Chains A and B, each alone.
Chain A
Amino acid sequence: MTNEFILETHGLTKEFAGFVAVRDVGLRVRRGSIHALIGPNGAGKTTCFNLLTKFLKPSAGKIFYNGRDITARAPADVARLGLVRSFQISAVFPHLTALENVRVALQRQHGHSFDFWRSKSVLDRFNGRALELLDEVGLSEFAKTPAVEMPYGRKRALEIATTLALDPEMMLLDEPMAGMGHEDIDRIAALIKRISAKYTILMVEHNLNVVASLSDIITVLTRGHVLAEGNYADLTKDERVREAYLGAGHG
């Protein structure tokens, strides 16, 4: 694939019982970039993610991933194509250890997942890779800790490690730093910067400092439609963005 854009949408629209949450969104995500999606609460960012990963069916519009129309695919298929999402609310498997969380992802690609007659010790061969991934996000010491007992910031890092385990081409991160302290934010930001060398990242984030320092391009969404797009410096000069976004109490 030599497409410049890894992900493209045309006229993406989602209607909930008469209320249009996403209206005619045309999004183009450049391969290898960090693309931020920002906007006030209720702008439709999470809904967009749900549409892109097929957790919701679009009311209208088309989604192309790597030039392929994925509009009618099932969510598990989209993940298998290499487009993997995280969730706004921390999504770990709480009673599995950090190591097991990552292993569940590794296991999917390498088969055996329907083998109910084998001992799970066959999964031990994934331990090495799982530890590598945990190490990559700074979680080595938590390998044997059940996810439910990990601090919030570490759970988000665990989610990223689990997503990385699938070796995706593109990651969608929904507010990866929401509710985090400074220290955690810095760590996750550095991590995102580092992994962006290998993956395309589309990210929803309210923390504008993070958005400013990480993203190559920013799309501003208000009331379901695209208000503006550009880099941080351009957008801060845009009167409409200041009004819609900063006026809503952010920044």
Chain B
Amino acid sequence: MAALTDNTVRTTSRRIIGDEMIVFILMTAVLAIVPMTGIYPYFVMQGLCFALLACAFNLLLGYGGLLSFGHAMFLGTAGYVCAHALKVWGFPPELGIVAGVVAAALLSIVTGVVAIRRQGIYFAMITLALAQLLYFIYLQTPFTHGEDGIQGVPQGKMFGVLDLSHPDTLYYVVLGGFLFGFLAIYRAINSPFGEVLKAIRENEQRAISLGYKTDQYKLLAYILSGTLAGLAGSLKVLVAQNASLTDVHWTMSGEIVLMTLVGGLGTVFGPVAGAFAIIAMQQYLAGFGQWVTVIQGVIFVVCVLTFRRGVVGEIAHYFKRSL
């Protein structure tokens, strides 16, 4: 994982914090005016959900050095639980979101305890295996409605006042959820915990020799990542009004990896750029049918060969900044 060490914060001077602040304000401003621009808001909302998902994944791989190949399980599980809570239990949207997030958090605790002691490729394999196990469970259990998925999920009124069937309201609620998750991840990266996590990624043996029980830190990173991926899953249900097997399928886990790598592993904004790039591509190339996968594969290969740091990673490297 050579790219891992390339996109790391070079210094902690004020200038760099300033750079990130400026980009964050720009990003928020652009996202805030989307409903006034005539851009199809459904596309952007979908992008925001995937962006949050990729950011959560990046916390684990880019900063914790752990490659999970089963992250779709958090997206899908939160989605099913949120959809079920909204449709069957008649939860208001805010509680539906919380239900999905809690489910993802519990799942991350259970799977994390099983997986965290494995290193490198074994960690990737065990997370993939756990996600596949869950996929088959969701295929069989009645509450997920198998191949059909949970359809026609009511959006309802958030806090009793915000009518989410109104596109603009829904948009700003999703944007709010994304920004919350994004800032939570940013804070975690720049917290005392984040410092230890980076140290473990850089040299785990040395961290152990300093007295750190590294498994515990990796587990916490995994749980935070899974929980925030769950938030993305809940928000996605409100946007799409359904929850289906595609969100727990291993190809989704692969796409999460792809988005993060294309955007820039271990960069703050890379996963956001990567997520939008990939779903825009899927949108525009939809006409090519099955070929989308092939084209995606080619882009991925080109990406890995020519700009290993990802789009944002290369830009940051060129300007010697940290983004």
Contact = CB atoms under 8 A, between A and B. Distances in A.
B211 A104 contact: no
Contacts of B198: 93, 95-96
A176 to B, nearest CB: 14
Interface in A98-119: 100, 103-105, 107-109, 112-119
B8 interface: yes
Nearest to A106: B210
Contacts of A162: 210
A92 interface: yes
A208 to B, nearest CB: 27
Interface string B179-213: 00000000110111111101100110111111111
Interface string A25-62: 00000000000000000000000000001010000000
Nearest to B224: A116
A100 B12 CA distance: 9
B192 A95 contact: no
Nearest to B213: A76
Interface residues of A, number: 41
A96 B206 CA distance: 13
B208 A144 contact: no
B9 interface: yes
B101 to A, nearest CB: 16
Contact of B206 (A93, A107, A114, A118): A93
Nearest to A107: B192
A74 interface: yes
Contacts of B191: 115-120
Contact of B209 (A79, A96, A107): A79
B209 A108 contact: no
B13 to A, nearest CB: 7
Contacts of A105: 210
Chain B, interface size category, equals 20 to 34
Given A76-B213, A162-B210, A123 B205 contact: no
A231 B207 CA distance: 34
Nearest to A103: B195
B76 to A, nearest CB: 25
A79 B208 contact: yes
Contacts of B13: 144
Nearest to A172: B209
B151 interface: no
Contacts of A21: none
Nearest 9 pairs between A and B by C-beta?
Answer: A79-B211, A95-B8, A116-B193, A91-B206, A93-B202, A116-B188, A112-B192, A80-B211, A104-B199
Interface of A: 53, 55, 74-77, 79-80, 84-87, 91-97, 100, 103-105, 107-109, 112-120, 122-123, 144, 146, 162, 166
16 contacts: A55-B205, A76-B208, A76-B212, A84-B211, A92-B203, A94-B202, A95-B9, A104-B207, A107-B196, A113-B196, A114-B193, A114-B216, A115-B191, A116-B224, A117-B188, A119-B191
